[in-house]
Amino acid sequence: MKLTSIPIASTLLSLLAASGTLASPLHKRDDPLNNKQFGLMSIHSGNSYVHLHPFYVGDSGAIYLDPTDGTSTSAVFSMSNGRLVVGNLYASVDSNGTTIFKSDANAASTKFSAGDATNVGYNLLYNGTQSAVACPASDNDQVYQVYFGAGNGNPNCAGIAIEAFVSPSSSSSSSSSAATSTSTRVSSSAKASTSSGAIAYTTKCVVVPVTASATATAKAASAAASSAVYPLFPHGIRLIDSANPSSNSGNVYSPVVFQKQNNHTNTIFTFDVPQVSGSCELNLHLDTSGFPITVEGSNGVGQFILFNLSSVANDSTVYSNRPNRIAEIGRFNCSSSGCDYATNVTCPNSYTAVSYEMMALTDDSYLSFFEEADPLEGLTLRV
Ligand SMILES: *[C@@H]1O[C@H](CO)[C@@H](O)[C@H](O)[C@H]1NC(C)=O
Ligand SMILES: *[C@@H]1O[C@H](CO)[C@@H](O)[C@H](O)[C@H]1NC(C)=O
Ligand SMILES: *[C@@H]1O[C@H](CO)[C@@H](O)[C@H](O)[C@H]1NC(C)=O
Ligand SMILES: *[C@@H]1O[C@H](CO)[C@@H](O)[C@H](O)[C@H]1NC(C)=O
Ligand SMILES: *[C@@H]1O[C@H](CO)[C@@H](O)[C@H](O)[C@H]1NC(C)=O
Ligand SMILES: *[C@@H]1O[C@H](CO)[C@@H](O)[C@H](O)[C@H]1NC(C)=O
Ligand SMILES: *[C@@H]1O[C@H](CO)[C@@H](O)[C@H](O)[C@H]1NC(C)=O
């Protein structure tokens, strides 16, 4: 695959290359997370108790997605020969997936590894897959506990993807790592609603506070003006590539869309939809205040098109078996300073998943970005 004329192609190449080895965990000694410090964050759109929450390790050694169990700051992790480490404690995973950090290195699981590379780090895998589950804690159903396995049987358990945020300068010896501040920055815990500058997107009883920034404030204002909806982040972001019609990117966090003559790399965004009421809107916001975006096109303007799809993408979805397009649902232009686009869409049914495809409309149009909550960047669905 030759894409040398496209500057960010190396990112794409690494994403696509990773797919070849998706089924087998990386060799531990070569794990890119070795000797790095990183924060961990859960990703599962549609569940505000879970989505974009950093990991906390409580006094009991259990992992939670909000401060609880004697701890108030998100944990800084490292990786050693497949072991997930916090301070001098090692993650031990029992047969049900219950995960407790213990000082006993011999009890440690050695099955952790880095998955696909993302703009900020890597997916975290356990036993070679994204097998983590977040479940309401037994004593507080608003705080979720993380399991690497079946979970605790609560019907509200949710499968999560885990993003490891690696500080560019991180090493095991640095004490105050950027990984910590990164996870703090994206924190959207229920308790944040009491902190100054917090903004709530309110719908029925669901509150998703997002720490204020100029962009987020502007977005919140416009969100509040419409029929009060909160942004759902895509739970699945999958790249399909017409030049490699049977290769699979896996689930990534960096959407990439481009056209090079007849070759297309498109991104399929999949949202898990909670209860739907009223109108539904697909919203794209990109500016330069988040992780770097790359946009190219004629005179610097890329032209893009969105479709709704007849079925939901999954890890087996590739270009050649991609879901059928039902209809164009919108077009937008974007430049390197960003873009804003919103379109009303047919509401998906409550408690289902829905996929949308983004494609470049003109030759040499190129777009890549990173989905994030604060500042709010990327494609979101409001239901
Ligand atoms: C796993 O869960 C089952 C059912 O809840 C329980 O009986 C069993 O003791 C658990 N096993 C471990 C190792 O915790
Ligand atoms: C790890 O995955 C393999 C196959 O993918 C499975 O057979 C095994 O039970 C898993 N082990 C754990 C501890 O989850
Ligand atoms: C399009 O993809 C084909 C197949 O991989 C490749 O041979 C060709 O060079 C690509 N064209 C461009 C313009 O990238
Ligand atoms: C996964 O997606 C592929 C292609 O989009 C489809 O053929 C397949 O039926 C899907 N699998 C499930 C379990 O939905
Ligand atoms: C995008 O820009 C092109 C070229 O300026 C213009 O013709 C087109 O109408 C624009 N499309 C949208 C959706 O604004
Ligand atoms: C979506 O529909 C609502 C209600 O009809 C309307 O107020 C809003 O402006 C529409 N949004 C867009 C982007 O067209
Ligand atoms: C797809 O989009 C078209 C055009 O907006 C709309 O008529 C149709 O209902 C949509 N279908 C689904 C399943 O979203």
Q: pLDDT at position 3, please?
A: 28
Q: Determine the distance separating the centroid of ligand 1 and the alpha carbon of 40, expressed in angstroms.
A: 26
221 lines ligand 7 (CB under 6 A): no
Pick the residue with more confidence: 8 or 344?
A: 344
pTM check: above 0.75: no
Predicted confidence at residue 374, as pLDDT, reads 65
Expressed in angstroms and rounded, the spacing between residue 327 Cα and the centre of ligand 5 is 19
Q: ω before 292 within 30° of 0 (cis)?
A: no
Burial 85-110 (b: 16+ CB within 10 A, else e): bbeebbbbbeeebbbbbeeeeeebbe
Q: Residue 168 has what pLDDT?
A: 55
Q: To the nearest whole percent, how much of the chain has pLDDT over 90?
A: 46
Digit-coded pLDDT (tens) for 137-170? 988 888 999 999 888 888 788 888 898 988 655 4
* Cβ atoms < 10 Å from Cβ of 337: 11
Whether 316 is in the pocket of ligand 4, judged by its Cβ within 6 Å, is yes
pLDDT in tens, 220-229: 333 333 333 4
Structure confidence at residue 208 as a pLDDT band (50, 70, 90) = very low
pLDDT band at 238 (very low <50, low <70, confident <90, very high): very high
* DSSP labels, 259-312: EETTEEEEEEEEEE-----S-EEEEEEE-SSSS--EEE-GGG-EEEEEEEESS-
Strands 56-57 and 63-64: antiparallel
- Report pLDDT digits (tens) over 209-218: 222 232 333 3
Residues 69, 100 contacting (CB under 8 angstroms): no
Q: Are strands 99-102 and 112-117 parallel, antiparallel or unpaired?
A: unpaired
pLDDT at residue 276, as a whole number: 79
Query: 95 CB less than 6 Å from ligand 1?
Result: yes
Q: Which long-range contacts (CB under 8 A, 24 or more apart) does 215-220 make?
A: 215/285, 215/287, 215/289, 215/375, 215/376, 216/374, 216/375, 216/376, 219/285, 219/376
Instruction: Work out the pLDDT band at 203, boundaries 50, 70, 90.
Output: very low
Most confident of 27-36, 115-124, 255-264, 269-278: 255-264
Cβ neighbours, 10 Å, residue 362: 14
**Average pLDDT across the chain, whole number:** 76
All domains of the chain in start order, with CATH:
37-171 (2.80.10.50), 233-382 (2.60.120)
Per the model's pLDDT, the better-predicted residue between 169 and 363 turns out to be 363
Coil vs helix vs strand at 351: coil
Cα–Cα distance, 161 to 243 (Å, whole number): 28
pLDDT band at 75 (very low <50, low <70, confident <90, very high): very high
Provide the pLDDT for residue 230.
60
How close is the Cα of 264 to the center of ligand 3, in Å?
Answer: 10
CA of 243 to the centre of ligand 3 (A): 6
Q: Which atom belonging to ligand 5 lies closest to the Cα atom of 303? A: 1
Q: Is 347 in the pocket of ligand 6 (CB under 6 A)?
A: no
Average pLDDT over every residue of 281-287? 95
